[in-house]
Structure 1
Amino acid sequence: MSRFTNKVAIITGSSNGIGRATAIILAKDGAKVTITGRNAERLEETKQELLGAGISADNINSVAVDVTTSAGQDQLINSTIQKFGKLDILVNNAGTGVADPSGTTGISQNISIYDKTFELNVRSVIELTQKAKPHLIESKGEIVNVSSIGSGPQSHPDLPFYSMSKAAIDQFTRNIAIELAKKDVRVNSVNPGLVQTGIMQAMGAPTQISDKLYEYLGSNRDCIPIGRHGYPEDIANIIAFLADREASFYIVGQTIKADGGSTLVMAMNTHNLTDLLK
């Protein structure tokens, strides 16, 4: 038997990037998956990749909804229970940075950017978790939240609302982990570093520009010590580990950084201090 045989998972934001990679890994390891996103065309691409990987259509529930709406959340939960009969794993992956149309960054951004960021990155996670809670208690399930190294403690002055929202998710993870552990439901999160997904295009950056940024940062070990940027599969494998009760049972309420070592680097360490002392 595969490790997720007879398990049912909802993966939000699975129309591309980390969510798509997670859906494929879980499904290939036996899970029945609900995939979801706002873009029906990209969501269909995920479904076709699943089918191409040998996953039966009977094990795929594709739901094109806006997870920030109550109706979308209800459809996501209800269709999963209706098709598969239960819910074992909730992966709260949907999230993004929101660019100010004026090009403004930092604290001068319009407060509407804060509202939009927190609506998707925080409020939708809380609401969907509330609605999934009774089903996860019944199955003794798992929740994996996808946060970011943007949550701190390092400063991210250009995107304060994004980093604030991810800090909120980290604390939400810790808080509900204690409550739900008493119900035999485990909650953890993963904090990706620089991972090549569609987030920059979603924020308005042309593909050529975002590719240039990934290449530049990934090739500079003073930014990413391991020597390359991340790929969605790098994070999806960690999500699968955290969703696997047998493999990660004793991990509760933790945030696992997956950033190639980025958060270990201080600016002073990028300079050769030995030469200065000669």
Structure 2
Amino acid sequence: MINLDNKVALVTGSSDGIGAAATSLFSSLGAKVTKVRRNQSKLDKVAAECQSKSPHHYKPLVIKADFTRDEDVVRAFNETISAYNRLDILVNNAGIAANKEFGDPGYLEDYDQIMHVNVRAVVRLTELATSSLAESKGAIINVSSAGSLIANPNAFWAYGMSKAALDMFTKSMAGKLAPNIRVNSVNPGIVRTSFLRATPDPTAIQDYLAKMQPLKRVADPEDIAQLISFLASDASRNMTGSIVVSDSGYLVVDPYNIKTE
């Protein structure tokens, strides 16, 4: 059902985790991919993997960019159009988090940076891409978080705020850009990414987190990539404005009755 052959996809935050998995899957489905992220060496490695999986041996366009800078957002879009002269799919996946609590020294600086990357850059890139996506009757997939749907006052509060804003932007743009552009959001729960791998004992932490989930597992990036590819394809042609959760049941856990055994 999923056919992305010769579609052009711009995926931000694509050197690792969900973004890397999405570009790899897109490539295997025949798409031409633009990969955008700050880490050049990781981008190059994943780009080589994408090319090897492409049935057409398409080499991804690799763009090193910092989405705290408006000019880099504009450059990423312009270079994609210059290379392919069209755009079918925009995946707004780039995002950052910080864990300073409300009122901590420097918390507003972290807040500003989070909102700039997680919201402002998405808004700007969507604005730039609208004309091209309308012409191709394309799709936008915003990568949000299950954390947008449940409040955690003591951890990642600004991150949750940014993702809640992204959900509202998704629904607003779905109405505004219809019928030519579909806009949906993917809201993952806990995913095996570099964030978890950087913890002191990642195996123990992931095992513990898995036990807390009703499905007793932590998602792999490929799980989320499959959902993104579905929303990018004509298989989801009747969907727009949807906030699609993939969280191993995280949102239905009773916080007073968590079973870890």
- Provide the TM-score with structure 1 as the length reference: 0.87
Match of 1:276 in 2: none
Report SS of the residue matched to 1:11. strand
Match of 1:252 among 237, 240, 247: 240
Match of 1:189 among 154, 172, 185: 185
Residue 220 of structure 2 corresponds to residue 228 of structure 1 = no
Report SS of the residue matched to 1:267. coil
1:155-234 residue pairs with structure 2 within 5 A?
155-182=152-179, 184-200=180-196, 206-218=198-210, 220=211, 223-234=212-223
**1: CA distance between counterparts of 2:70 and 2:151?**
34
1:114-129 residue pairs with structure 2 within 5 A?
114-129=111-126
Q: Deviations over 1:18-46 (max 9, x none)?
A: 00000011111011000110010111111
Report SS of the residue matched to 2:175. helix
Q: What residue identity is the alignment partner of 1:230?
A: A
**2: CA distance between counterparts of 1:162 and 1:2?**
32
Q: What residue identity is the alignment partner of 1:132?
A: A
Q: What residue identity is the alignment partner of 2:236?
A: S
- Provide the TM-score with structure 2 as the length reference: 0.92
Offset of 1:80 from its aligned partner? Answer: 1.2
Q: What residue identity is the alignment partner of 1:212?
A: A
Residue 4 of structure 2 corresponds to residue 8 of structure 1 = no
- Paired residues of 2:48 and 2:59 also in contact (CA < 8 A): no
The Cα RMSD (Å) is 1.9
Identify if the C-alpha distance between structure 1 residues 172 and 54 changes in structure 2 by more than 3 Å, giving closer, same or farther: closer
**1: CA distance between counterparts of 2:92 and 2:144?**
9
- Paired residues of 1:156 and 1:163 also in contact (CA < 8 A): no
Match of 1:152 in 2: 149
Query: What runs of 5+ residues in structure 2 fail to find an aligned partner?
Result: none
Q: Deviations over 1:203-235 (max 9, x none)?
A: xxx4433443222111x1xx2111110110010
Offset of 1:156 from its aligned partner? Answer: 4.7
Identify if the C-alpha distance between structure 1 residues 193 and 107 changes in structure 2 by more than 3 Å, giving closer, same or farther: farther
Match of 1:94 in 2: 94
Identify if the C-alpha distance between structure 1 residues 81 and 95 changes in structure 2 by more than 3 Å, giving closer, same or farther: same
Report SS of the residue matched to 1:81. helix
Q: Deviations over 1:213-267 (max 9, x none)?
A: 222111x1xx21111101100100000011112x111111011110001101112
**2: CA distance between counterparts of 1:194 and 1:43?**
23
Percent identical pairs in the alignment equals 39
Q: What residue identity is the alignment partner of 1:153?
A: I
Match of 1:41 in 2: 41
Match of 1:23 in 2: 23
